[in-house]
Amino acid sequence: MKLIKVIAVSLTMLFGAAQAQNISIATGGTGGVYYPMGGGLASVLSSKVPGMSATAEVTGGSVDNLNLIGTGKPYVGFSMADAAKDAKDGEGKFANKKVDLRTLLVLYPNLMHVVTVDSTGIKSMKDLKGKRISTGAPGSATEVMAFRLLEAAGLDKDKDVKRERLSVAESVNAVKDRSINAFALPGGFIGFHTGLLVSAETDSEVASVMGHETGHVLQRHLARQMDKQTTNTMIALAGILLGALAASRNPGAASGLMQGGQAVAVNNQLSYSRDAEREADRIGFQILAASGYDVNGAPGFFQRLQKATGIMDSGVPSYVRTHPLTTDRIADMQDRARNIANRNVPTSVEFYFIKARARMEQSGSSSQMYDLKNTFEGLSKQSAPGKQMEGFYGLALVAQKQGKFDQASSYLQQARNLANSASAPGSPIQRQSLSLDITSSELALAKGKNEEALHIAQATLKAYPQSYAAGAAMMNAYLKLGRTNDAIAWLKVRTRLQPNEVVWWTMLSNAYDQAKNVPMRHYALGEKYALEGAWPSAIEQLKIARSSGGADFYQASSIDARLREMQKQYQEELKEQGKNMPS
């Protein structure tokens, strides 16, 4: 399907351009095309037009942009031509609310692509029946066009397919980083790569790495180093992080990125010093022991890391390296472990299921999926119960991704049977699994057994009240059943308990959207943008919420109060940067 990308503008903006000093360019999500194009357009307008200040704002896409234009404010927005026509004619997503707009220019024609992989067996649009598909993010024209394509193929978007409302970046995010690494950053964040989970043999090994990185956070190693550095430090950090992301794709490029970044910062100040690494090892070991894990997990993992990275450091003086040599750290951990009584700590069944999920996260193309299935089949035939569980659970995940839900349920039951038998009294494996129940709920939902999916999710959440996955599974079931009020009620409580979690605000926005509560949808979306640091977009969402009508007195008061708070926080940030608040 051939589409047209356009730039639209409100009539207020068109005829009031001579007085406009500040304009906002409504773009799309940060993972799409509109956002960087809008940033470029804003840069050109601000630098080339005297007295004009233009900023690009993150939005949901074409539909959101056209709604913003409808407010009559100084907005320029990107949109697909089809969505713009709907807005002008008051059709589709704009039923009963025409937008008085004009097209400034046509950017480029493009094709509407429907992407799949070989293993799904999808050869035509009609083959999408019964499949799980992404129709685009809420507020985007991608979703509008996806609905029309389904309709043209004779499919009901609500009954014939299982829809996921994902952004462009989320829809194509199949290739994951395979680095065997973990890292800590200022602010208490600890990152784990999937490769670490796949390479570990026990959860004690994973815990040893978590303990080490927690040691860095507790001692504020990176924060203390950054306090001493100049702006060049941030350039070096960017180089290191880009290099880490490039490592699994192109080792040569990764090396160049890292070396280039480090060259800017004198004396490699971004890398932990040898003393900091030893301190993190010591604290991590204490945390590992106090948590009841097997203390041999630390040297066990470092040995596996040494084999995986091929680091052979014999004959190289340790002082020339930024980090202590792997052999040094293994010897130190082994010495510490000898002073603690040996523990026979069982590995939980959940560890094996998480390993299977980590393998899935690393695989995206059809060829990888084929190889992954072979890997899981091999694991399922091994003698060790843990390997068998990982294998059968992995096969269930592969079948689920391929839309073979009955086959997935069969594999899942085999994994469950193994978990129950392997975790009998006296077994070296502990029975504690969230993954089995979450996958059971997902499969029930995929089969259209929405009540069963909800029952499983509710029971799982009761057993694991802090689980994000269980909460998300319950929300998905509520929305499939049309129980939006229940979903909204639960998410309102959750956002009060965990106000800094983007996932809950995103789901709350989707729930309000399904309930057709326009002001509260924009309110929740504003909170999401605020947590992501996109203050202009967050403020604009709350302004839309305030002006859209339909909010009751309490909701309107909350929106006004939160809008003032956001504006104050944004103003303070700009003041620190020596900038003024846009008018």
Averaged pLDDT, 405-409? 96
Give the pLDDT confidence of 466-510 residue by residue, as tens digits: 899 999 999 999 999 999 999 999 999 999 988 888 999 999 999
Spatial CA neighbour of 342 closest among 286, 280, 283, 289 = 289
| Mean pLDDT of the region 275-295 | 84
* Strand pairing class (22-26; 53-57): parallel
3-class DSSP state for residue 311?
coil
Q: Is the pLDDT of residue 16 over 70?
A: no
State yes or no: pLDDT of 580 exceeds 50.
yes
CA 399 to chain centre: 23
DSSP string, 64-92: HHHHHHTTTSSEEEEEEHHHHHHHHHT-G
> Residue 37: which pLDDT band, with cuts at 50, 70 and 90?
confident
- Can you tell me the distance from the alpha carbon of 286 to that of 248, in angstroms, rounded to the nearest whole number? 32
Quick one: which of 20, 57, 79, 77 has its CA closest to 539?
57
Region 246-258: mean pLDDT is 45
Task: Quote the CA–CA distance of 327 and 299 in Å, as a whole number.
Answer: 10
Residue 122, number of CB atoms within 10 A of its CB:
18
CA–CA gap between residue 432 and residue 5 (Å, rounded): 51
Amino acid 127: pLDDT? 81
Domain boundaries, given as residue ranges, for the chain: 1-173, 201-338, 482-583
Instruction: Tell me the per-residue pLDDT of 77-100, one tens digit each, with 9 for 90 and over.
Output: 888 888 888 888 888 878 878 888
9 three-class SS = strand
Grade residue 416 by pLDDT with cuts at 50, 70 and 90.
very high
Mean confidence (pLDDT) of the chain: 77
Mean pLDDT of the region 190-208: 82
Q: Which residue did the predictor score with more confidence, 74 or 291?
A: 291
Cα separation, 114 vs 96, whole angstroms: 30
Cα–Cα distance measured from residue 549 to residue 544, given in angstroms and rounded to the nearest whole number: 9
What CATH number was assigned to the domain covering residues 1-173? Answer: 3.40.190
Instruction: Please state the separation of Cα 486 from the chain's center in Å.
Output: 25
Q: Tabulate helix, strand, coil % of the chain (nearest 5).
A: 60, 10, 30
What fold does the segment set 482-583 form as a domain?
1.25.40
* 346-401 pLDDT, tens digit each: 788 899 999 999 888 877 556 678 888 999 999 999 999 999 999 999 999 999 98
Residue type, 111: L
pLDDT tens-digit readout, 213-223? 888 878 776 66
Q: What is the pLDDT of residues 516-538, one digit of tens each?
A: 999 999 999 999 999 888 888 89
Burial (CB count <10 Å: 0-12, 13-18, 19+), residue 4: middle
DSSP string of 403-468, one letter each residue: T-HHHHHHHHHHHHHHHHHHTSTT-SEE---SHHHHHHHHHHHHTT-HHHHHHHHHHHHHHSTT-H
Q: For residue 177, count other CB atoms closer than 10 A to its CB.
A: 17
